[in-house]
C-alpha cells in the first residue's frame, strides 16, 4: 500500500529540513502522556517532513480528512480541532479538503465545512462504502486524525478497553483501498495508522489498531501533530501558516456544540485532559521554530 510522496516545493528555504523535522517530532512527544516516546524510535526519522510533503499537490486536488472519536454519546475535542486546522491549511494551498465523519460530528462540522457523511455501524457494507466514496471523491491524499482503527478482531476499542463499535463510523477501508498516499495521526495506539507499529504496540496498555497507512505521525495529543505538520508545510512553502492558528476559537465552537474531553469526559475547553493554554503554548513554540527557519541568522547546510 506504499505510495510515493510528491516532490517538495522548489521555494523551500535553505534550512536543514531533516534536523528541523526531528526537533519537532521530539517536541510533539516530550510529555509521553500515553507512551508515544516508546514508539517513536520505531518510526523512521523525518516522518513529520514526509507528511508535510504529501500536501504538495496540484491546485484543486481533493484531500480527505477523516476524524471523530466517539466518547459517550458525542465526540471528543482531540481530532476535530486538528482536522479543521489541516482543512484550513489545505484551503490556503488551493486544495479541496473534505472532512469525512459520522454523526453527531458530521451534523456539527457540515454547518461550516465541506464534509462527507459516514453512516454509523454499517459493518456489512464498509468495504463497498469506501470503494464508492473513493470513486466519487477521487482524492489525491487520504488522511486520518484521531480516528478509531480496527483491532485484530475487527472491532473498535477505546483507551478504557470499552468496545465502542456500535457508535463508530468506519474510515479504515478508505486508507486500505486508496490509490493515493495515506497519512494517519494518533496518540494512543488504537487509532487508524497504528498498525504500522504493530510489532511494538504490546508495550502499551491498549487494544491496538491493526490498520496501516503510508506515513504515520504520532504526538502526545493528536491535534498537536496537525499543528506540527502545518509548521513543516510552512517551512516548505516559505510562509508561516500558523499565524492564523486560533485554538481557543476552535475549542469554543466544538464545546458549544456538545464536544467533550476524551480523557475527563467533561464539556470543557481542554484536549485530552490538558487546558487549552498547553496547546496554545505548543503552537507558539512551533511558530517560533517556523520564524527561525524562514529567517535564519546563517545559512545551514542541507
- pLDDT-above-90 percentage for the chain: 87
- Written as one string, the DSSP assignment of 130-186 is HHHHHHHH--SEEEEES-B---TTS--B-TTS-B-GGG----HHHHHH-SS-EEEEE
30: phi then psi, degrees, rounded to nearest 5: -70, -25
Report if pTM > 0.85: yes
- Of 224, 185, 226, 232, nearest in space to 53 by CA: 232
Calpha distance 210→191 (Å, rounded): 9
Calpha distance 265→117 (Å, rounded): 24
Exposure string of 125-153, with b = 16+ CB inside 10 Å and e = fewer, is ebeebbeebbeebebbbbbbbbbbbbbee
More confident residue, 274 or 6: 274
Residue 8, pLDDT score: 45
- Written as one string, the DSSP assignment of 232-281 is HHHHHHTS-GGGG--HHHHHHHHHHTT-B-TTT--SSSEETTEEHHHHHH
What residues does each domain of the chain span? 17-294
296: phi then psi, degrees, rounded to nearest 5: -70, 145
pLDDT of 123 > 90? The answer is no
Tell me the average pLDDT of the chain.
93
Residue 122 pLDDT class (50, 70, 90 cuts): low
Reading the block at residue 252, the C-alpha cell is 469554543
The angle at the Cα of 271, spanning 222 to 257, to the nearest 5 degrees, equals 110
Residue 297 pLDDT class (50, 70, 90 cuts): low
Residue 73, pLDDT score: 92
Q: What is the pLDDT of residues 18-63, one digit of tens each?
A: 999 999 999 999 999 999 999 999 999 999 999 999 999 999 999 9
- Of 190, 199, 231, 163, nearest in space to 78 by CA: 190
Domain 17-294 class?
A: alpha beta
User: 3-state SS string over 111-139?
Assistant: CCCCEEEECCCCHHHHHHHHHHHHHHHCC
Residue 12, pLDDT score: 46
Residue 301 pLDDT class (50, 70, 90 cuts): very low
Residue 234 pLDDT class (50, 70, 90 cuts): very high
Residue 121, pLDDT score: 66
- Written as one string, the DSSP assignment of 186-230 is ESSSSBTTGGGGTTTGGGSSS-------SEEEE-SSHHHHHHHHH
Reading the block at residue 291, the C-alpha cell is 520564524
Residue 9, pLDDT score: 45
Residue 82, pLDDT score: 98
CA distances to 34, 130, 131 from 134, in Å:
33, 6, 5
Q: Do the beta carbons of residue 103 and residue 179 sit within 8 Å?
A: no
Residue 296, pLDDT score: 79
pLDDT of 1 > 60? The answer is no
pLDDT of 262 > 80? The answer is yes
Reading the block at residue 207, the C-alpha cell is 487494544
Amino acid at each position: 500500500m506504499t505510495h510515493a510522496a510528491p516532490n517538495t516545493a522548489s521555494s523551500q528555504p535553505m534550512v536543514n529540513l531533516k534536523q528541523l523535522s526531528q526537533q519537532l517530532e521530539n517536541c510533539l512527544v516530550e510529555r509521553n502522556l500515553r507512551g508515544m516516546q516508546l514508539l517513536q524510535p520505531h518510526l523512521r526519522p523525518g516522518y513529520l517532513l514526509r507528511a508535510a510533503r504529501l500536501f504538495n499537490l496540484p491546485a484543486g486536488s481533493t484531500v480527505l480528512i477523516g476524524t471523530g472519536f466517539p466518547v459517550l454519546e458525542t465526540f471528543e475535542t482531540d481530532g476535530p480541532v486538528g482536522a479543521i486546522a489541516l482543512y484550513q491549511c489545505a484551503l490556503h494551498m488551493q486544495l479541496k479538503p473534505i472532512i469525512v465523519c459520522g454523526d453527531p460530528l458530521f451534523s456539527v462540522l457540515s454547518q461550516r465545512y465541506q464534509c462527507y457523511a459516514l453512516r454509523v455501524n454499517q459493518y456489512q457494507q464498509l468495504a463497498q462504502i469506501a470503494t464508492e466514496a473513493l470513486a466519487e471523491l477521487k482524492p489525491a491524499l487520504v488522511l486520518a486524525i484521531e480516528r478509531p482503527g480496527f483491532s485484530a478482531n475487527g472491532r473498535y476499542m477505546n483507551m478504557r478497553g470499552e468496545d465502542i463499535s456500535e457508535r463508530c463510523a468506519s474510515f479504515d477501508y478508505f486508507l486500505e483501498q486508496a490509490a493515493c498516499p495515506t497519512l494517519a495521526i494518533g496518540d494512543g495506539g488504537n487509532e487508524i495508522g497504528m498498525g504500522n507499529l504493530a510489532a511494538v504496540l504490546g508495550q502499551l496498555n491498549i487494544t491496538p489498531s491493526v490498520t496501516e497507512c503510508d506515513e504515520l505521525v504520532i504526538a502526545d495529543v493528536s491535534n498537536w501533530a496537525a499543528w506540527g505538520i502545518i509548521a513543516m508545510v510552512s517551512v516548505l512553502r516559505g510562509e508561516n501558516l500558523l499565524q492564523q492558528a486560533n485554538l481557543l476559537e476552535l475549542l469554543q465552537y466544538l464545546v458549544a456544540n456538545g464536544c467533550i474531553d476524551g480523557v475527563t469526559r467533561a464539556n470543557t475547553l481542554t484536549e485530552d485532559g490538558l487546558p487549552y493554554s498547553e496547546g496554545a503554548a505548543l503552537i507558539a513554540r512551533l511558530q517560533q521554530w517556523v520564524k527561525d527557519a524562514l529567517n535564519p541568522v546563517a545559512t545551514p547546510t542541507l
